[in-house]
Every structure is written in structure tokens, then in C-alpha cells.
Amino acid sequence: MTNPLLPRWDTPFQIAPFGAISDDDFSPALDQALVAHNAQIAAIADSSEPPTFANVIEALESPCRELDQVLSVFFTVAGADSNPKREELQRDFSPKLAAHSAAITANKALFARVAAVWDARADLNITDEQQRVLMLTHRGFVRGGAALTGAADKRMQEIKGRLATLGTSFTQNLLADEREWFMPLGEGDLEGLPDFAVAAARAAGAEKGADGPVVTLSRSIITPFLQFSPRRDLRETAFNAWVARGEGGGETDNRGIATEILSLRQERAQLLGYNSFADYKLETEMAKTPDAVRGLLMDVWGPAKSQAEADAEILTEMMASDGINGDLEPWDWRYYAEKRRKVEHDLDEAELKPYLQLDRMIEASFTCATRLFGLQFKPLDVDLYHPDCRAWEVTRDGKHIAVFIGDYFARGSKRSGAWCSAMRSQAKFPEVQAPIVINVCNFAKSDPALLSWDDARTLFHEFGHALHQMLSNVTYESISGTSVARDFVELPSQLYEHWLEVPEVLAEFATHAETGAPMPQDMLDKVLGAANFDMGFQTVEYVASALVDLAFHEGAAPADVMAKQDEVLAGIGMPSAITMRHASPHFAHVFSGDGYSSGYYSYMWSEVMDADAFAAFEEAGGAFDPERAKALEETILSTGGSQDPGELYVSFRGRLPGVEALLNGRGLAAK
């Protein structure tokens, strides 16, 4: 029988036929796809024709359909619906794929042809977009080690393979810790928890096969528990389990893995002639240098720390009024911050949450895209990889634009966090292909599904990434959609979060789950008035993580990753009642792969731009100003990586922004 992963799919919009695919299909399909891709690469490298843009660069841009299909399906289910077989396959595939990629970069005949086209670039009659693709291709080969020879070349291949294996192990260890731990709750332990948190705990208990409600390490369950439970002892137990992911000893301990990853990254950078991995990694980003990154982070750290320390004094007084003497601890902060928010803003998350129904928030994100960019969303009835998934066809003026898939609920088989990926990216070469884009989140499942304010922001954030993919309008897949500098990729996503806070959007879509009544005006005012509540805490936990990430990758790799983390936190004066958002043993952004390594700062770098970019709408005709929306699509959302990101932003805004917009947006500017 034909392996269902390999033929061109005769399905609606060529969506993967998930129902026909079994786990046993992946390994043989990958082997066949790698053979096909190797033949494609060999034909380019060994050609006797003089190297040209068409027979080298465009030939490399021509996708290996079989390999793309296998990997798009596998990595979708491996991240969002894993099982022991898929985890085993991932451990097998990671070094195999790393070796395959490394062999392409190390192919001297292929690199010679790429270099020949690059050297002749001044005489080529090609478009600006093609010049960009040529530059990125050549740069990618050089940065991948293509110019290395002898022992250095061999060592580079070894490092790449080992890093792939370690990244997979880090991710799977983290998933195992998150999957295995839960804390049973007796009926008396539910005191103080709002109905939505109790419902989520009961649903989690049913999923775990427990006799009653449980707290798990899913952020959408543990965060409300830390916010609302008056049981300080249970909060401490849950919090300590949450922050100890990846450092519990035994087979799933990630500390040694993280240390080895940092050592190998530093060696890799030095093989390529860089002083540090941070120098290597940041060279291609907007920031360019570690000093520029640290400058931004420290500009924000001072005001954020001052605000957090002032807030800590207030929370400590509240704790003392409850008869608890001693220091404010990390497991106390969210509980007393929530009580403070209720007092100062008369805003209770338990009262707010019924107005933030998942289905209505999805509708809100779609409607904003309709008003801004003319997109329409029609539900699709197609087989997907899990019953919780939903799909929509995206059109504009009757023309098919994309397929959008949403996978919103937490489950034990899904890694933590939220992300956007493209199962197929937009391109026009060698043939027109529309994107298939997926948003994956980890919201607590209930009926109806209700979101926290942070959950709703996450939904809009990931849909901003999806718009970047869906509205892409470039020729070549390698520069399509979110294939941009890491510190630019978060601009569209963080910018889109602003539309959640537009009063008319909330007035229309924030409706009560039981009565259908719109959010009362006074509650709407409180929500918007409390937008920057506890921002000192949020900024400190984020910036601390970004500074630790940066320090990890500057200079010699640390011999002990935890000792280095502690050194950095002590050096910046980390408040004792706040922890890093991601401690090193579960810092998946940094250690599950190279994506955000030395780049976790990029969320804040992009936030400098997103605050300024939304101001452009406010300065014009408002949040839905058609001219600004058109400019946003034409200069940023449709252009992918076809131009330098700084140039793209200036095209949209007329200038680059300063940090003031970010400080004002977070309420941290000097009063």
C-alpha cells in the first residue's frame, strides 16, 4: 500500500489526511523523502551547467514535496498530541534530520555553486527580492559552516547532530515532568476557587484518571490556583513543583543537558570565528550586538524593579493583615496581587472570566481581521489530528487565501505554551501555494470554555502570527510569512494584542456565558484601567529571563548552568518574591532549539515597535483606520523576510521608535 504521507494529497486544500496516517507511517516515509531530497540536492551540486540564479538558488528554493509533507505532519502532532511512539520517533528523527541538514551545508560542490552565483551578483539581472534570497542563501551556508574544512568541518557536523539530540531530550523531559505531576484536591481544598477554576480542576482530574479535582502544571490551571487559593501551604507545593520542572533529578533532569548545550553552542560559534554564541546569533538580528540587547533590557529593568519593589511592600502589608508574618514569597505574589486588584480596581477575575468566552474571543479576532484586512472565515469540516481542533477557510473578495487551524485546549499530550506554525507556507515559486496555518494554545477545557485576560491576549497574540503567515505575499518560501529576524517576528503578534483592548471590540464580543449580556460599561472601564496592573512583576520576571539567556551565551560557556543563573540574578538584584518567568531547566525557548537562544529579549525589542505602531493607528483614524491597515499589510504583514526589517518598519512608520513608547505602554515611565 502507498504510504499516505508521500503522494500529493487529494484532499480539501491539500490538508494532510490525518485520519489515514498512522505512527508506523512516519519512519519509512521519512527515509523515502530523504532519498528524494538527497537526489534533488545532488542534481544541483553536480550539474555541469554554469551556475546561475535559476539552476542553483531557485533550484534550492524548489521544495521537496515528500519531505515537506512528512515533516509538517510529524512535527505538528509531536508538539501538540504526543505519545510514547511519537516521542521515540522524535528522538530518532532529530539527529537524522540534523545530519541531513548538515550534509547539505557541508556539500562543497554545492557551496561552490552558491558562492559563484553570489560572486556574480552585481552582474545578475534579478529583482530586489531575488537579491535578498541570494544573500540569505549564501549567508546561511557560511554561517552553517560551509566554508570550514578538515577537522573543523567534521567537528561542526558532530556539534549539530548532538545539539539536535539534546534539544529533543530537553523538550521531552519537560513534557514528562509536566505530564506526570499533579496535586489532588479534596473538596475542602477548593475553598476560595471560583467556579471556572473548580471546573478546570475537575476536568483535569478526569483526564488524569484521578478520583477528584487536581491541580496540574498547565499554566491555565496552576495560575488561577495561585491567584485564588487561600491555602498558602497548597500554593507553596504547587508553585515549587511548577518552578522545579526539569530539575527534579533522575532521567528528566535538564540541568546537565542545558550546560552541555551552552558549551556546544560556544564551540560552534568559535569554529565560525566569533567570540561568543551571542555575537554569532545576534549578527543577523535587528539588535546586531549583545551590548544593544543589554542596553534595552537595562533601560527597562530599573523602572520595572522599582515598581515591583514598591508593589511588594503593599502586598507584604496585605499579608500581614491576614496574620502572616515574614517575607512575601513567590507563591504569595499572585494571590495578594489578585486581592489588591479587586480592591484597587474593583475587578475580580472570577467575575470577568464569564465575559471572555473562547468562541466569542475567536470571533473577535476574526472580526478585527475582517475590518482591518477584508478577510472572511468559513468553518471547514475536515479530519484533523485531534477532535479538539477546528479549521476555517480564509478568503478575501471570494478568493482563497489560507486555511487556519485552531487547537486551543490543554492536554497531557501537548507541550506547554502557545505557538503558531505553518503546515504549508505561502509561496509563488515554483507554483502558487496558499498557506495552512495553525495556532496551538493550552487553555483549560470547560463548557463553555472561559478565558482569563492573559488567555485572551495569548489568543490574539498567536493570531497575529497567523496573520503574518496568511497575508504573506512573496515569491519564495524561504522568506515567507514569519521567516524574518527573531526580534522582528514578534511585532505582528504583539501588535495584534492591542485590538483586544479596543473598547468597541470588547463591547461587542465580551458577552456573558450564561445571560449573553455585554460586559457592563463599568467593568469594561475597570478592565482597561487595570491593563498595566502588576506590570512591575510581569516585566521583572520577563527581563530577568532575557538577561540570563543573554549572559549564558556571552563568552565562555558556564560550567554550571544554575550557578550562572544565580550569579546573573544576584548581579541585577532580583527581588526575592519574584522568580524568572522561565528558570533554566524548563527554559524551552532557549534550550529546545536555537530559535530563541540569545534571543528571548526579542519580545521586548518587538514591543518597542508594537507600542509605537499601534500609536500610528490612534494618531490616524483610530484602531481600524483603513489607510494604516493597508500600510501595515503592505509594508510588514505581506513582505515576510524580503527586506531588512528596520527598513520595513521605517516604511510603515517613517522612523524607528525609542524605548519611551514601551515604558509608556507598560506604565513604567517616570511620573
User: Using one digit for the tens of pLDDT, what is the confidence trace for 123-136?
Assistant: 999 999 999 999 99
The neighbouring-strand residues paired with 427 are 433
Cα torsion 140, 142, 147, 148: sign: negative
What is the pLDDT, as a whole number, of residue 551?
A: 98
Buried b (16+ CB within 10 A) or exposed e, 206-221: ebeebeebbbbbbbbb
| Pairing, β 436-443 against β 419-424 | antiparallel
Return the H-helix or E-strand segment holding 393: strand 390-396
- In DSSP notation, 204-216 reads HHHHHT-SS-EEE
**Residue 573: how many other CB atoms lie within 10 Å:** 10
**Alpha helices by DSSP H, 181-329:** 195-208, 219-228, 232-243, 255-271, 277-282, 290-321
Give mean pLDDT, residues 399-411.
97
Per the structure block, which three cell numbers stand in for 92? 530518532
SS3 438: strand
| Pairing, β 376-380 against β 390-396 | antiparallel
Angle between helices 290-321 and 330-344 (to 10 degrees): 70
What is the pLDDT, as a whole number, of residue 287?
A: 95
Cα separation, 72 vs 405, in Å, equals 14
Whether 462 sits among the annotated catalytic residues: the reply is: yes
Q: What mean pLDDT, rounded, does the chain reach?
A: 96
What is the pLDDT, as a whole number, of residue 671?
A: 63
pLDDT band at 234 (very low <50, low <70, confident <90, very high): very high
Answer whether 433's CB lies under 8 Å from 387's CB: no
pLDDT for 17 beyond 80? yes
Cα torsion 285, 288, 291, 292: sign: negative
Cα separation, 541 vs 257, in Å, equals 23
The neighbouring-strand residues paired with 421 are 438
What is the pLDDT, as a whole number, of residue 119?
A: 98
Cα separation, 170 vs 181, in Å, equals 17
Write down all domains in the chain, each with its CATH number in brackets.
12-147 (1.20.1050.40), 251-344+535-599 (1.10.1370.10), 354-531 (1.10.1370.40)
What is the pLDDT, as a whole number, of residue 597?
A: 96
Give mean pLDDT, residues 8-24.
97
The neighbouring-strand residues paired with 436 are 403, 424
**Alpha helices by DSSP H, 46-194:** 59-61, 65-80, 84-105, 108-119, 128-143, 150-180
What is the pLDDT, as a whole number, of residue 145?
A: 96
pLDDT in tens, 160-173: 999 999 999 999 99
Q: Where are the beta strands (DSSP E) in 257-381?
A: 376-380
Give mean pLDDT, residues 640-657.
96
Query: Judging by beta carbons within 10 Å of its beta carbon (0-12, 13-18, 19+), is residue 47 exposed, middle or buried?
Result: middle
Q: Nearest-CA neighbor of 243 among 591, 568, 590, 586?
A: 586
Cα separation, 358 vs 196, in Å, equals 13
89 vs 25, 384, 413, CA distance in Å? Answer: 11, 20, 15
> What's the chain's Rg over C-alpha atoms?
25
What is the pLDDT, as a whole number, of residue 580?
A: 97
Q: Nearest-CA neighbor of 592 among 92, 164, 218, 265?
A: 164
Q: Which amino acid is present at 406?
A: G
**Residue 418: how many other CB atoms lie within 10 Å:** 18
Buried b (16+ CB within 10 A) or exposed e, 106-117: bbeebbebbbeb
The one catalytic residue among 66, 462, 477, 607: 462
Q: Nearest-CA neighbor of 467 among 407, 404, 398, 423?
A: 404
Cα separation, 281 vs 504, in Å, equals 42
What is the pLDDT, as a whole number, of residue 338?
A: 95
pLDDT band at 349 (very low <50, low <70, confident <90, very high): confident
Backbone angles phi, psi at 397, to 5 degrees: 55, 40
| Pairing, β 399-409 against β 419-424 | unpaired
pLDDT in tens, 313-347: 999 999 999 999 999 999 999 999 999 999 999 98
Per the structure block, which three cell numbers stand in for 119? 560572486
pLDDT for 659 beyond 90? no
Answer whether 36's CB lies under 8 Å from 30's CB: no
pLDDT for 1 beyond 90? no
First-to-last alpha carbon distance for the chain, in angstroms, is: 71
SS3 20: helix
Answer whether 229's CB lies under 8 Å from 178's CB: no
pLDDT in tens, 522-562: 999 999 888 889 999 999 999 999 999 999 999 999 999 99
Q: What angle do CA 159, 160, 162 make, to 5 degrees?
A: 65
Q: Cis before residue 492, ω within 30 degrees of 0?
A: no
pLDDT for 660 beyond 90? no
**In sequence order, which residues have a C-beta less than 8 Å from that of residue 230 and are 6 or more positions away?**
191, 192, 335
CA 264 to the chain's CA centroid: 24
Cα separation, 242 vs 331, in Å, equals 10
